[in-house]
Amino acid sequence: MPAVTTKFTADDKLDLEIFKNNINAHLDAGVNGIILGGTLGEASTLLPEEKRDLTRFSKEIVGDRIPVIMNIAEQTTKGAIKAAEIAE
């Protein structure tokens, strides 16, 4: 289960097209799951809506083939609970 990197455009928006290529490369390699926001500190720096968009987009790509897990690295317990609810 690799922790995939989050891709951004030059104007700091999620680059979902490049991200899709990355996810598909992992699927082709035979991974058993994908972890989002788990590299380079993205879990604590992505906006809640970016986390939601990444999770939804990833699920669209992988369907039910493998689990998609959003890393949670919030500053408070309440924030962590909210992030888990959004990911769910």
| Beta strand segments in the chain, E | 34-36, 68-70
Residue 5 lies in a domain: no
Sign of the CA dihedral with 22 first, then 59, 45, and 15 last = positive
| Contact (CB, 8 A) for 51 and 15 | no
Is residue 69 assigned to a domain? yes
Q: Is residue 6 part of a domain?
A: no
Is residue 3 situated within a structural domain?
Answer: no
Do 27 and 65 meet the contact criterion of CB atoms below 8 Å apart?
yes
Q: Is residue 57 part of a domain?
A: yes
Calpha distance 9→78 (Å, rounded): 31
Residue 61: inside a domain, yes or no? yes
pTM: 0.85
In a domain, residue 67? The reply is: yes
Closest CA to 20 of 28, 32, 12: 28
- Per the structure, the complete domain to which residue 36 belongs is given by 16-87
Q: Give the number of domains in the chain.
A: 1
* DSSP reduced 3-state for 84: helix
For each of the chain's 88 residues, which pLDDT tens digit applies?
999 989 899 999 999 999 999 999 999 999 999 999 876 778 778 888 898 899 999 999 999 999 999 888 888 999 889 888 888 8
